[in-house]
Each structure stands twice: as C-alpha cells, then as structure tokens.
Amino acid sequence: MAAVKGWEGVVLKLLRGKDFTFTVTGAQDVTENYRRVHLEDGGLLAAAGDSLHPTMWVRLWFEDDGKPHQRAYTLVDPDPAAGTFSLEFALHDGVASDWARGAEAGDTIEATVQGTGFTAPAPTPERLLVIGDPASLPAINSLLDAYPETPATIWFETQHDADADLPLRTDGARHDIRRVGRAGGGAALVEQVKAQLPALVTDPASAYVWLACDAATTRTLTSYLRKDLALPKQRVNALGYWRAA
C-alpha cells in the first residue's frame, strides 16, 4: 500500500525519519475488538541494531479520502534474526482499524521510524506502576518483558467485555492487575488511580510510573503525579496514545 505522506512526511524526513515497507505474513483476531497483524520488517530491525528498545513504535501510513494519515503502533515480539514482528490494533472506526481488519498475507504498508525512544529508569524501581488501556497493551507487555524480575501494579482501563481476554503478560506472583471499566471519559480511571497509587509510593524519588492512555486522561494523571505526589520528571514516563472523540 503506497501512501502519499504530505507535509507530515516532509517534516519527518527533515527530522531524519527512516522509511520502510512492511509486508503482511498473516493476521489473527485476539478478540472481536482486537487484532494482531504479523509482518516482515523490510530491514527495520537490522537498521535499528542496538537502538531496539522496550515500547519501540513506528508510524504507519494510510490514506483517508486521498489524504495521508499516520498512526503510531508498538512493535510486538520483534525478532531481529528473522526480520519479523507483529502489530496489535484496538479496533474502532477509522482507516487504521479498517486496514487491520482486512490485512492479509502479501499486503504491504509504508512506515516511518522517528521519535521513538525509551530511557530506562535509574535506579531500577522496586515496583513498576503502570497505567494503560488496550491501545497501549503492546507497550505494557514489552515493558513487563524488559523487567522480568520486577513486581508491577497495573491499572488497565477496559471498554469491552472481551478486554478481559486480552493477553497481558503477567503472573499472579509478581503482578497486580486492577481493571477499571471506562466511564466518564476516563474519570473512573483517574479516580481509582488517585485513590490507590499513593499508598504504593513510599519514596517519590525512586518510584516509577509508566502511563499511556487517552490524551486527556494522560495529562490529568501526569499533572497529579508531578504536582500532588511530587514525582520527579524522570520518574514519570507519560504519553497520550489517542484522543477521545
């Protein structure tokens, strides 16, 4: 699938974004609202080399009524030796979800890598405090994979009954999952996090919170963590993954 990238593509090229073409090798429905697409990487992983990191994402390019449209997705299980990885889509109305629903072996899609990064917290936290939803599930899983010995408390916002079946890579011994049904445009998640997270922050300087929800919720919680709980900037990794309609 060739997409005209417009002014966004020009800006990314000026910022030294690197372009790749991915080829679909297969796809599977994880739930009725969540789909995993398997891809050959078009040389991406070899080019990344030592810069491959947890939560790494790429920008996929789509066309929406003839106009370029890009969305970011996290690499799932990248295998540099095989040159493969997967991408996961929380399905809704939109051109990216439409593409994922119809993706089949042999399809291609263009992508740009620019802007992704991850700074490992130092010192390593005694417990990961993670706040996310289906859109950030691949990043959450990659973070848990990167810290296999570190306990984690995860507040996971859900929108559909089937979200209970999404593959969080957790075990009962080290991981505490707290699912929160989406309500009030994210207000329910904010309320629960504010009620429960402070008890897990014994020392703001050594706590670590990784946060990726809708943009408004992310802003609200980031402000709370920094101002009310006094967590240092480097101990909060926050990114708004999507915008509520």
Whether residue 169 contacts residue 196, with contact meaning beta carbons closer than 8 Å, is answered with no
Give 167-200 pLDDT, tens digit per residue: 999 888 899 999 999 999 999 999 999 999 999 9
Question: Is the confidence at residue 51, as pLDDT, over 90?
Answer: no
| Mean pLDDT value of segment 66-95 | 93
Gap between the Cα atoms of 242 and 61, Å rounded: 16
pLDDT at residue 118, as a whole number: 83
Q: Containing domain of residue 89, as a range?
A: 6-113
**Among residues 86, 113, 140, which one ends one of the domains?**
113
Rounded to the nearest integer, the mean pLDDT of the chain is: 90
| Mean pLDDT value of segment 234-245 | 85
DSSP reduced 3-state for 93: coil
Q: For residue 134, is it within any domain?
A: yes
Q: For residue 4, what are its two tokens?
A: 């005209």
User: Looking at the structure, do residues 43 and 101 belong to the same domain, yes or no?
Assistant: yes
User: Looking at the structure, do residues 38 and 140 belong to the same domain, yes or no?
Assistant: no
pLDDT at residue 77, as a whole number: 96
Give 1-13 pLDDT, tens digit per residue: 445 455 454 444 4
CATH code, 206:
3.40.50.80
**Among residues 67, 84, 113, which one ends one of the domains?**
113
Count, in order, helices (H) and strands (E) of the chain: 6, 12
Q: Report if pTM > 0.85.
A: yes
Number of domains the chain is built from: 2
User: Looking at the structure, do residues 162 and 82 belong to the same domain, yes or no?
Assistant: no
pLDDT at residue 15, as a whole number: 39
